[in-house]
Amino acid sequence: MLNIAVLVSGGGSNLQALIDAVEAGSINGRIVTVVSNKEGVYALERAKKHNIPCKVIPKKGNDSFEEQLTLHLMENDVDLIVLAGFLCILSENFVKTFENKIINVHPSLIPSFCGEGCYGLKVHKAALDYGVKVTGATVHYVNNIVDGGKIIAQKAVDVLEGDTPETLQKRVMEEAEWVILPKVVADICNKRRKEEKDG
């Protein structure tokens, strides 16, 4: 089974989708740690409810943030790092250390409405301001370009008349993010398991 780390900064709804999939047996892996860069976020409560170990590594004013994070991930023998609403940009050095082991979920169809500063409600507001009729979510590998890594999966969601950033965010989460993120994690776990078996 793959050891999965989920990195969070907020409410943790995508974390919950992963926890549910693991508990349902559809992901052949286990979440060994949930790491937040902020104290008191609801994602940590979600993890605690399911007896998943949590760690807070504050980023603000912490020059050794990435060193502490790297050490923690290595101590937990992490095979896959999932950025689920993790609002920190990771350095090229960190990404290289965990090359092809970090994935991110983004609430738009990349390459639209992505890159530095595009997160949360800002993404959905930009989509509505632009007048797009279809938006969605993307799961991609993380490289040293923000939202620039290889796309693994995308799912489209219709923009409806009268949508607000909040209603659109909710629909994109329910119809796209919570669907494709657990599926991608499950596929990666199965692929890695097959490689180990064949190798």
Residues serving a catalytic function are 106
Dihedral (Cα; 85, 153, 110, 149), 10-degree rounding: 80
> Where on the phi/psi map is residue 46: left (φ > 0), alpha (ψ -120 to 50), or beta?
alpha
CA distance 87 to 64: 17
Report residue 196: phi and psi, to 5°: -65, -40
Residue ranges with strand state E in the chain? 2-8, 29-36, 54-56, 80-83, 102-106, 134-141, 151-158
Q: Is beta strand 102-106 parallel, antiparallel or unpaired with respect to 134-141?
A: antiparallel
- 3 and 77 Cβ atoms separated by less than 8 Å: yes
Place of tokens 């301001």: 129
Q: Per the omega criterion (within 30 degrees of 0), is the bond before 111 cis?
A: yes
For residue 139 the two structure tokens come to: 């799961």
Q: Look at the alpha carbons of 186, 189, 192, 195 in this order and tell me if their dihedral is positive or negative.
A: negative
